[in-house]
Structure 1
Amino acid sequence: MNPFIFGEVVKDADFIDRKAELETIAKDLSDGQKVFLIAPRRYGKTSLILAAAEKLKAKGIKVIYLDLFRTASVEQFAAALGKAAAEMRKLGFAEAVNFIKDFISGLRPQFSVNPDGSLSLGVDASPPQKEVFQMIENLLAYPQEFASREKKQVVVMFDEFQEIVSLGGEPLEKLMRAVIQKQRNVGYVFCGSKKTMMSEMVSKKSRAFFGMGPVTHLERIPSEYFEKYLAGNFAKGGFACSKETLRTIVSSAGGIPYYIQYLAHELWDLQTEEKRITDTDVERAVTMIAKRNTPVYQNLWENLPQTQKRLLQGLAAKPDAAIFSGTFMTRFQLKSSSLVKKSLSLLISKDIIEKESADYVFTDHWMGVWVRQNCS
């Protein structure tokens, strides 16, 4: 069986490194801190906070997890908070329905049962925002009420927290800050993948969450940790793979956990009969993965103006280049630094690239490969 996992939360032996971050986050949350965790997508931040959740649960701490990526309106956010509050109490279906109705009756909640037996909750009304905000305020206050009544520490985890901006804007941020900052017995982690949005939320003095708690930026895991992990799994399957090729796998996947697992999974399947992996096999697998996603990338590419296409060609060909230098702009026919700056901003807003330290990188690593192989 292929041991390499991608596209889902990893744990146990597949959870690589991050020990220092895990210990720090778990301790801060158990102390009731309000923690911010920022990292690009596919760096393993969800796996990290869920690993912290397991450590906290082992200490008897009640943990609630909400993924805001699935939330498309402020009404749905209120419903998600209501469902989380019910889960805190471990109520049966009928009790949970009545409990949630007490909080969000104005949203006309719709209840059903998922195939796994869990509660599914939708809403069928859009009352005035003032009413919805009052529901949210009451629900945000509930974790502290529960903690005080049950004499139990509580931790609330918000994943993809930057979605709050599109759901309710700064008024919702201010409401959340006003309620949450008073909760001594409740730890919070606000986890987000859109670095620019999350960084602005915590670094601008005018924003509600400024200075509220410690901020952790996840960095890339050192290559040697992945090389050791890959070597162990390949060896268990009887695969031969040199140290140099292990290093090539990690670098070809951009050093990003999701893409490393993806590439290793592909290599395992490609070489199941030969049981040997070389640099040539890695190159072939990378090309196959990028080609597989051609319809998606081609659609994005065809809808871009020429200047943005040329800038992406440059980023794909020279990821570490000084993009505002005369040499770079001349080679890729970019007329001015102001035009480069505007194009960068637009590509970030389209979620095609993101800023990482001083560089700009593709949000989808394989798209960078595809551009380099097909559009240069």
Structure 2
Amino acid sequence: MDNAVINPFLTSGYLSAEYFCDREEETKKLTRLLTNGNNVALISSRRMGKTGLIRHCFAQPKIVRSYNTFIIDIYATKNLGDFVYEMGRQIVNALKPRGKKAIESFVDAVKSLRAGISFDVQGLPSWNVELGDVQTPAITLEEIFTYIESADKPCLIAIDEFQSISSYPEKNIEATLRTYIQNCHNANFVFAGSERTMMGEIFVSAARPFYQSVSIMNLDVIPEVKYSEFIKYHFEKNGRKIDDDSIHEAYARFGGVTWYIQKIMNYAYSITDKGCAFYVARLEETVEDIVEENSEIYKNMLFLLTPPQKMLLIAIGKEGRVSQITGRQFLKKYSLSASSVQKALTALLEKQIVTNSQGVYEVYDKFMTIWLSWG
């Protein structure tokens, strides 16, 4: 692949170590824990790069040689049936590059879904299972763990947005998963989550099944000096330059959160021709262009909210950060009532449009915060 045609600042997915910034110590630690029989809870706020770190860890030669690796994203799941469906689907997708024989071993174990997995003339699998086809989730889950236990190599399994299981309607789901995982000797797990409070309750509370069952890793921002080196390296490697002030301002404005830095630098790189430089004077225009690109999405989000939800969201967006959300000063400034705020806030938190971190409320999307401040 010709590196010259790749924008080096990826905003989704994982390509290779070349396009992965720092996390050297975190990669070593996660690799060491997993390859020495530990399960890990990986916790950070969203868009900090948890999934990227997991993919980078799973791409380490030591792991590629000796392990099967699977990443299961359960962010959109609502119950055990959804969980089992995603687990089966993602395992099949991960096994595809290994050929028909590898997938057949999975199909043989998962008898309850066998009819939904077929092979074409070239031996490539087709996942024809629908959510409704998972008639007996508990049985299918047991079959999947039977496959994991009998797999030809030890398995490393990352479950992304693991806190989602807390909202499943099924009783004792944590205890059920804990039992399967505890009795599975051919796999270790990464439980990645972005809701610190919920993840803390699952793994730190003595009353919960997963108590003291994992090593906990908290993922913080990449240090500015490391990010600066990474950004300047890729600009210069491709015949461009960027000044230190641009990097510092972008890093400071978005608190060093990985995805926002990547998005801004992706855009800055794309508008900087070879032989030219990007200066801090263009940064504000760059941010505004990115926000404007998303304006229709934000308009549609507001349209789908009730008037009280919309009023509260706009108020939080204009403030940036709100700690006294039912305080008299905040309510008076935005013509809100305490009763309407409480109800609207619950809805905005459930929709994950607004976040709550230690009693401080913010709009989840920092670009949306800027857009709301324009109104």
Which residue is equivalent to 1:331? Answer: 333
Q: Residues 342 and 19 of structure 1: is their aligned pair in 2 closer, same or farther, counting only changes over 3 Å?
A: farther
Counting only pairs closer than 5 Å after superposition, residues 264-275 of structure 1 correspond to structure 2 as 264-272=265-273, 275=276
Q: Report SS of the residue matched to 1:235.
A: helix
Give the deviation of 1:160 after TM superposition.
Answer: 2.9
Give the deviation of 1:370 after TM superposition.
Answer: 1.0
Superposed CA offset, 1:99-142 (max 9, x none): 51542336732425699x8533232585786x430221232243
Which residue is equivalent to 1:57? Answer: 63
> Cα RMSD between the aligned structures?
3.5
Counting only pairs closer than 5 Å after superposition, residues 21-100 of structure 1 correspond to structure 2 as 21-55=26-60, 56-58=62-64, 60-69=66-75, 74-75=80-81, 77-82=83-88, 84=91, 92-93=99-100, 96-97=103-104, 99-100=106-107
Give the deviation of 1:282 after TM superposition.
Answer: 0.9
Structure 2: segments with no counterpart, 5+ residues:
none
| Partner Cα separation in structure 2 for residue 307 and residue 70 of structure 1 | 26
Q: Report SS of the residue matched to 1:333.
A: coil
Answer yes or no: is the 8 Å Cα contact 1:37–1:189 preserved in 2: yes
**Greater mean alpha carbon deviation, residues 245-254 or residues 202-211:** 202-211
Give the deviation of 1:188 after TM superposition.
Answer: 0.7
Q: TM-score, normalised by structure 2?
A: 0.82
Q: Report SS of the residue matched to 1:3.
A: coil
| Partner Cα separation in structure 2 for residue 114 and residue 166 of structure 1 | 42
Which residue is equivalent to 1:244? Answer: 245
| Partner Cα separation in structure 2 for residue 86 and residue 326 of structure 1 | 53
Q: Report SS of the residue matched to 2:31.
A: helix
Q: Report SS of the residue matched to 1:191.
A: strand
Q: Residues 241 and 145 of structure 1: is their aligned pair in 2 closer, same or farther, counting only changes over 3 Å?
A: closer
**Greater mean alpha carbon deviation, residues 89-98 or residues 346-355:** 89-98
1:132 and 2:134 matched: no
| Partner Cα separation in structure 2 for residue 91 and residue 277 of structure 1 | 44
Give the deviation of 1:227 after TM superposition.
Answer: 2.2
Superposed CA offset, 1:167-223 (max 9, x none): 664443322111111234521111123445434433444443233212223222232
Q: Report SS of the residue matched to 1:123.
A: coil
Q: Residues 330 and 10 of structure 1: is their aligned pair in 2 closer, same or farther, counting only changes over 3 Å?
A: farther
Give the deviation of 1:296 after TM superposition.
Answer: 0.9
Q: Residues 99 and 358 of structure 1: is their aligned pair in 2 closer, same or farther, counting only changes over 3 Å?
A: closer
Answer yes or no: is the 8 Å Cα contact 2:317–2:372 preserved in 1: yes
Structure 1: segments with no counterpart, 5+ residues:
none
Give the deviation of 1:313 after TM superposition.
Answer: 3.4
Which residue is equivalent to 2:280? Answer: 279
| Partner Cα separation in structure 2 for residue 335 and residue 36 of structure 1 | 39
Residue type of the alignment partner of 2:294: N
Superposed CA offset, 1:40-73 (max 9, x none): 3321111101122123415623333333347677
Residue type of the alignment partner of 2:57: A
| Partner Cα separation in structure 1 for residue 94 and residue 55 of structure 2 | 16
| Partner Cα separation in structure 2 for residue 303 and residue 352 of structure 1 | 12
Superposed CA offset, 1:221-258 (max 9, x none): 23232222222223334444332222112234442212
| Partner Cα separation in structure 2 for residue 307 and residue 163 of structure 1 | 27
Superposed CA offset, 1:302-359 (max 9, x none): 33344433443343333345434544343233333x6545443321111112234553
| Partner Cα separation in structure 1 for residue 96 and residue 266 of structure 2 | 40
Residue type of the alignment partner of 1:279: V
Counting only pairs closer than 5 Å after superposition, residues 334-345 of structure 1 correspond to structure 2 as 334-336=336-338, 340-345=341-346
Answer yes or no: is the 8 Å Cα contact 2:95–2:103 preserved in 1: no
Residue type of the alignment partner of 2:116: P
Q: Report SS of the residue matched to 2:231.
A: helix
Give the deviation of 1:283 after TM superposition.
Answer: 0.8
| Partner Cα separation in structure 2 for residue 251 and residue 193 of structure 1 | 21
